[in-house]
Structure 1
Amino acid sequence: MRTSFFFFLICILSSTLSAQQKDTISKEDLKIAAKVIGLDFTEPERDSMLRDVRDNYTEYARMRSLPLNNNVPMSLWQSPVLPGMQFDTKQLPVQWNIPVNVNLPLNKADLAFYNILQLATLIKNKKITSVDLTKFFIERIRKYGDTLQCVISVTEEIAMQQARAADAEIAKGKYRGPLHGIPYGLKDLFAVKGTKTTWGATPYKDQTIEEDSYVCTKLKDAGAVLIAKFTLGALAMGDWWFGGRTKNPWNLNFGSSGSSAGSASATVAGLVPFAIGTETLGSIISPSTVCGATGLRPTFGSISRSGAMTLSWSLDKAGPICRSAEDAAVVFNYIHGTDGKDPGAVNMPFNYSVKKDIKKLRIGYAKNFFDRIRDTSANEWKVLKAFEQMGIKLIPVNFPDSAAYPFDIVGITIGAESAAAFDELTRTDMDDLLTRQNKNDWPNSFRTARLIPAVEYINANRHRYLLMQHMKTFFETVDIVITPTYGGRQLAITNLTGHPALVMPTGFNQRKLPTSITLVGKLYDEATLLQVGKAFQLATGWDDVHPEMFKQ
């Protein structure tokens, strides 16, 4: 009891008292502190605790005197793998179905919505240079970036250097693959040498981190061309950043959602062929839904997060935001894996095949979530009909919900970890500089989370382990499950268990804004997830619908 109580006591007392004030901590303070966490200590118990509480308070002050940068990890690490799980570890060659006879469009603006493989064949066959393609997309960013408020910095010098290098290599016959010479953008929480890495937040808007993040490095190795760093809601929440609010490319009166706000908005508007986002709880899924992108949230640990801002060590994930599942497959192929700098990341194979027969898969749908959508004309139900018309016999299943997730595990987990990640920001009152200061915004969340006892944080993660067991049992019956994007507690559950998810556009709602569906797959089975996603998009075509205002 002693250690956990001391941990939470700092939450109540340390923000207002200095180390020299430790002797002013009284037994009455302990009574109040206990009340906050739902306990009641007797007078003799408080008397016994008092000296140790005061001594520990001194240790907190000593601990705080030593700097802890955001990139310093915990020694405890989350893994989605449970005892008894086995995975294929052999990487097979991936053969891309690169189209032939692709030509430049008569209307140059149409080039903005070519998919990655179409652009790749243009570059490989020297119908356009990487330099020209890069200039084309940079011009679009300069034309529309302010309209969408989706760009933090244009990395033109880096881009032109990388584009010229790509052209030189291709001219010599060295072709690295379908991302060679292709422009892209990064969410501005990934470090890149020679750029600012602002995390979307005023306290860090002039911050430079002189290293290349893992994702940036992998894309550089693939020959891709970094042309911009895109907006994120401040410290990875929402779509409000220090420069304004990122807009929805379908209707500028609405925000893009977040926190991968700029990555989704820019990709859908054709400012880049693809971008990289991150997710802790919906930050790829939500903006992809709202903007009409195809977003892949990979299995936890599938992509190293080294060089990226930490919000929650046990929940943060990086992934591609694209306009199609096949594009997401191409990008994921080149960025999955680890550099050994992220203790939570692993090397697992990605055996994507364009020839796989998805009719042989066990594809289920979350009947308990769909039954709550009583309007059978809703786009979610149309998705099921589309799969049935593809010859898929869907299996009705009950997705683990309230019985497996009886309380807000993810809230406690994110609260404690994010507050620790930005401990100094709170203690120095620099959180007052953040753009948003409402009850649901980070400053208040960080302060509130300091009252989460260590015992409750640990027990929440023990319940998380039980949740992972529920999901392990669930996926013994299906390979893929179709679920409404915001159905039940699916988003919280799958982020906690680390399962991969693919969100895709499915049409529009009554406000003429995009709707989506989510496919959830087995751990480390992004290949199957993306193969099914590609089949759905070939059958429906919603990935080929683009906002009119950006077709110029």
Structure 2
Amino acid sequence: MVKKSTIKQVTLAFCLFGSFALGAFAWPKIAASPITVGIVAQAQKIIGIEFTPAQGDSMLNTLDSRVKQYQELRNLKMPNSVVPALNFNPIPVGFVNQDNTNGFKLSKGGAVKLPADKNELAFYTVRQLAELLRTKQITSVELTKFFLDRLKKYDPKLLFVISYTEDRAFKNAAKADDEIKAGKYRGVLHGIPFGIKDLLSTADSKTTFGAGPYKDQELHIDATVVKRLEDAGAILIAKLTLGELAQGDNWYGGITKNPWDVTRGSSGSSAGSASAVSAGCLPFAIGSETLGSIVSPATECGDTGLRPSFGRVSKYGAMALSWSMDKLGPITRSVEDAAIVFNAIQGTDRNDLSTIAAPFNYDGTVAGLKGWKIGYIKAPFNNRNISNVNDSLTLAKLKELGAELIPIEMPKTPSSAIQFVLEAEAGAAFQELVLNHKDDMLVRQGKGAWPNTFRAAQFIPAVEYIQANRARTLLIQEWYQTLKGLDIYIAPSFSSNLRLTNLTGNPCVVLPNGFNKDGRPTSITFMGQLFGEGKVLEAARIYQQATDFHTKHPTLNF
């Protein structure tokens, strides 16, 4: 058993080395205890550096002053919305954008007729619903009511809604109908209902982050993503579940379920967004990803998802988990729907200094992949213990479509050693929960859950955080050199590539790619160069149209 005196010594030391937070009530007791050479000796075991007693003694005055500085900063009680004065830059040295100009051209759409059974509308794409609205075969008010009714019907079982925005929705839907009737058609999102992950703020409703400590929180602003979608004419109808503070599918109201198998969670953290779209309760929804939170639930629920490049989409009005890794993107029924939504939300924002200007050029009329150079990460495709049989079939299909396949290797710079950047930033973003012991209010309390991660993060030295970001620069440069000359590359959805590209900021499209032996969806990810969303979406659309996996949907017998 560890002696209490030893624990006290380590705790005191990391008030300075790692900013360990015990809460305001404990501070006077800690501050009254002098820092000694013995405390420094205990702390050095955690940071992995040895000092002589004389060196430790020389530090004491500096360390004492640091402890006081940390407490001054904690007294500021900074809200989650305050961003650091440092911005992550994912652009490698010598970088050249894949797209030279902006352009957006949709594939040729055919005529769409209102089905005799309106329940079939549940699984129509944005393109199909847009054509019904444009040709006035259905109104936005009717469509809004249809999807609200479905959300309310299936939410008791799937648990994917935190709150409805009905008043706002019907007001905006009526406005959309008036505009369309008057010939003022804004485009394919005009009148289309959608939902957002409830880490995005809206001025007229609560923003709960899916977590008990914030379930009554009101932020009184509309997130930039919400404003841009509504400017395009889309209709916000619901705020959707997320695993608490963007981890998993557990939130304060339960576990969001997978419509394909309600004995399973929908994965996370964009749990509600993926589940609602999969169940035909929304045409599209907005999710977010820091380390797999679009890829994982989209895979579990059989959706198509786009995780954009870091800096492509404004995070103003979104919960911060990791300022250098958070990304917002759409979860949809098809790749082209994802392109439509992305086109509406991407671009710089003066309210978010992390946004980066870059061209976006998407051409949905491109047919076939002849002349395309498509890389594939060699190891997972060759490892039978890792690779899904459908992944290998993907390679064959891409070759059939005309692509030249080129094997590539993962970078030598260890992304696993850099990942604690996320933990350090998350520990800062939610330090107040540790300080006030509100982390005890979170549902999940295991070793791998946020409370323990936030606490352990207080021990990460600032020097090591900076060193990890320097290694990240090496990783970005190495991966950029590897991808030079390729149009895109593909990878199994769950591999070290997922961690790598969330650190480098590269974009990906995850799409359904068959079913496993238990009848649940599997997926594949199409990956791009930084700001290469146009190429990734084009290739993913061509592949998706050559298969039919995205046309399958769960049978909701409940």
Do both share a fold (TM > 0.5)?
yes
Residue 546 of structure 2: SS of its match in structure 1?
helix
Question: What's 1:294 paired with?
Answer: 304
CA contact 2:98–2:529 (8 Å) conserved in 1: no
Is 1:531 aligned to 2:538, yes or no? Answer: yes
The 1-side partners of 2:179 and 2:553 are apart by 33
2: CA distance between counterparts of 1:466 and 1:14?
37
Q: Which residue of 429, 451, 473 maps to 1:465? A: 473
AA matched with 2:142: D
**Structure 2 residue 531 is the aligned partner of structure 1 residue 520:** no
Q: Following the alignment from structure 1 to structure 2, what is the Cα–Cα distance between the partners of residues 376 and 314?
A: 30
Tell me: CA distance 1:268–1:119, structure 2 relative to 1, closer, same or farther (3 Å): same
User: Does the CA-based 8 Å contact 1:150-1:266 persist in structure 2?
Assistant: yes
Instruction: Determine which of 483, 488, 491 is the counterpart of 1:480.
Output: 488
User: For residue 267 of structure 1, what is the amino acid of its counterpart?
Assistant: V
Matches within 5 A, 1:49-128: 49-87=59-97, 91-97=101-107, 99-128=109-138
CA distance in 1, matches of 2:415, 2:358: 32
Give yes or no for contact 1:98–1:117 (8 Å, CA) kept in 2: no
Q: Report percent identity of matched pairs.
A: 47
Q: How far off its partner does 1:362 sit?
A: 0.9
Q: For 2:399, which of 388, 391, 403 is the aligned residue?
A: 388
Counterpart Cα distance in 2 of 1:389 and 1:366: 19
Counterpart in the other structure of 1:37: 47
| 1:399 CA drift (Å) | 3.2
Kept in 1, the 8 Å contact 2:213–2:441? The answer is yes
CA deviation after TM superposition for structure 1 residue 340, in Å = 1.2
2:389 corresponds, among 378, 391, 414, to 378
Q: Do the aligned partners of 2:243 and 2:268 also contact (CA within 8 Å) in 1?
A: yes
> Letter of the aligned partner of 1:8 in structure 2?
F
> 1:364, 1:482 within 8 Å by CA — same for their partners in 2?
yes
- Answering whether residue 512 of structure 2 is matched by residue 505 of structure 1, we say yes
5 Å matches for 1:198-213? Answer: 198-213=208-223
Contact 2:112/2:128 (8 A) holds in 1: yes
CA contact (8 A) 2:22 2:434 kept: no
Any idea what the Cα deviations from partners look like across 1:259-296, whole Å, max 9, x if unmatched? 00000010011100000000000000100111111111
Deviation at 1:389, TM superposition (A): 2.3
Equivalent residue for 2:199? 189
CA deviation string 1:321-352 (max 9, x = no partner)? 11111110010010001221111112322211
How does the TM-score come out when normalised to structure 2?
0.94
State the shift of 1:373 in Å.
2.3
1:441-488 CA distances to partner (integer Å, 9 max, x unpaired)?
00000000111111111111111111001111111131111111113x
Of the three residues 444, 453, 471, the one matched with 1:445 is 453
Answer with 171-180 or 32-41: which moved more.
32-41
Question: What's the counterpart of residue 493 of structure 1?
Answer: 500
Deviations 1:84-127 (A, max 9, x none): 21226765442323634211112211101111111111001100
In 2, distance between residues paired with 1:346 and 1:362?
27
Q: 8 Å contact 1:134–1:227 — kept in the other structure?
A: yes
Letter in 2 for 1:50: L
1:261-280 to 2 correspondence within 5 Å?
261-280=271-290
Q: Conserved in 1, the CA contact under 8 Å of 2:493 and 2:524?
A: yes
Offset of 1:517 from its aligned partner?
0.5
The corresponding residue for 1:10 is 19
Query: 1:274 touches 1:323 (CA, 8 Å); kept in 2?
Result: yes
Tell me the residue number matched to 1:420.
428
Distance 1:78 1:375 in 2: 32
Indicate the SS of the match to 1:318: strand
Could you give the per-residue CA deviations for residues 336-372 of structure 1, whole angstroms, max 9, x where no partner exists? 0122111111232221112235322211211222111
Q: Which residue of 2 aligns with 1:139?
A: 149
Which segment drifts farther, 15-24 or 199-208?
Answer: 15-24
Counterpart check, 1:165 vs 2:172 = no
Output the CA distance in 2 between the equivalents of 1:197 and 1:527.
Answer: 32
What is the aligned length?
544
CA distance, structure 1, for counterparts of residue 103 and residue 58 of structure 2: 65
Q: Deviations over 1:227-261 (max 9, x none)?
A: 10100000000000000000011000001100000
Question: Take 2:58 and 2:135, find their aligned partners in 1: how far apart are those partners?
Answer: 78
Amino acid at match of 1:515: T
Aligned partner letter, 1:389: E
Structure 1: 5+ residue stretches without partners: none
Verify: 1:409 aligned to 2:418, yes or no: yes
What residue is the counterpart of 1:334 in the other structure?
A: 344
User: Following TM superposition, by how much is the alpha carbon of 1:133 offset from its aligned partner in structure 2, in angstroms?
Assistant: 0.5
SS of the residue 2:489 aligns to: strand
Distance 1:77 1:369 in 2: 33
Deviation at 1:38, TM superposition (A): 1.0
Mapped to 1, the partners of 2:489 and 2:117 lie a distance apart of 40
Query: Do the aligned residues in 2 keep the contact of 1:187 with 1:263 (CA within 8 Å)?
Result: yes
Q: Residues 98 and 121 of structure 1 are in contact (CA less than 8 Å); yes or no, is this contact kept in structure 2?
A: no
Is the 1:131–1:164 contact (alpha carbons within 8 Å) kept by the matching residues of 2?
A: yes
Q: Which moved more, 1:190-199 or 1:75-84?
A: 75-84
Instruction: Flag as ranges the 4+ runs of structure 1 deviating above 3 A.
Output: 4-7, 12-17, 88-93, 374-377
- Change over 3 Å in CA distance of 1:424–1:369 after alignment to 2: same
Q: Give yes or no for contact 2:22–2:435 (8 Å, CA) kept in 1.
A: no
The 1-side partners of 2:251 and 2:530 are apart by 33
Segment of structure 1 superposing worse, 133-142 or 100-109: 100-109
- CA distance in 2: counterparts of 1:183 and 1:397, whole angstroms: 41
Give distance in 1, aligned partners of 2:387 and 2:415: 29
One-letter amino acid matched to 1:22: A
1:258 aligns with 2:268: yes
Distance 2:175 2:347 in 1: 25
Change (3 A) 1:91 1:127: farther
**Counterparts in 2 of 1:210 and 1:361: CA distance versus 1, 3 Å:** same
